[in-house]
Amino acid sequence: MSSLTVSLVQTQLHWEDKVANLQMLQQKIASISQPTHVIVLPEMFSTGFSMKPEVSAEKMDGATVQWLKEQAAKKRVIITGSIIIEEGAHYYNRMIWMLPTGQYGYYDKRHLFAYAGEDQHYTSGNKRLVASVNGWKINLLVCYDLRFPVWARQSFSAEQPFEYDVLIYVANWPERRNTAWKALLQARAVENQCYVIGVNRVGNDGNNIYHSGDSMVVDPLGEVLYHKVHDEDIATLTLDKEHLNTVREKFPFWKDRDAFMIINPPAEQ
């Protein structure tokens, strides 16, 4: 059965300094010597968790998306992480899924962190993105989305019992609430019978808020396969499809699920 190899980049970020962040991340990406399918960067990897989109936002044909294209092509790998995008009259915390061909998909963060005023500066997304690579389906989500299990919940059908195999969360999640971060990553894995990858930043941001990282990889039974706290780190792990299928077959808890429907609000004009 196919496996999936993923590289997690847990790093400090230069506050609202795109040039410095892209130079730093380019070096880290180049340093990954093991073969990998996907490289995962943190939320707002080019700026940090900035509430100044009018200063830092770019269009989809801007420098950071072009940088992603170049790095993915050079490394022949998929690269994902979120950046600040301006589209129309709105700003989005947008997670890009960049293929080495230059083609891409994207997910706009659904749940905006009102506690920090994100909802006052950004527009919420209203659709999920489930990407595919090497026979795996991957659901892409951002930071605060982690607190809302319905949005991440597997949708099942007779033809396709499981909508996805992996959940990826990219984040700028503060250390002061890292207990919730770690517990919820494990909960999402257990309840959805999937692998979960959480990639967080480390260090102080421009508001002097400390981030401990705590990037994790969790298997479908909730077992932690990787966990790194405080330090910068680049970790490459291979996920086992046979293990995933065995868990789902041995423990078919999904058959006892509750039926539900997500009703999206109308898109802002």
- Residues catalogued as catalytic: 43, 109, 143
CA–CA distance, 79 with 208 (Å, rounded to integer): 28
Exposed, middle or buried, 259 (CB in 10 Å: 0-12/13-18/19+)? exposed
In terms of Cα–Cα distance, which of 200, 201, 50 is closest to 120? 50
Q: Are strands 224-229 and 104-108 parallel, antiparallel or unpaired?
A: unpaired
CA–CA distance, 58 with 101 (Å, rounded to integer): 21
CA–CA distance, 81 with 258 (Å, rounded to integer): 32
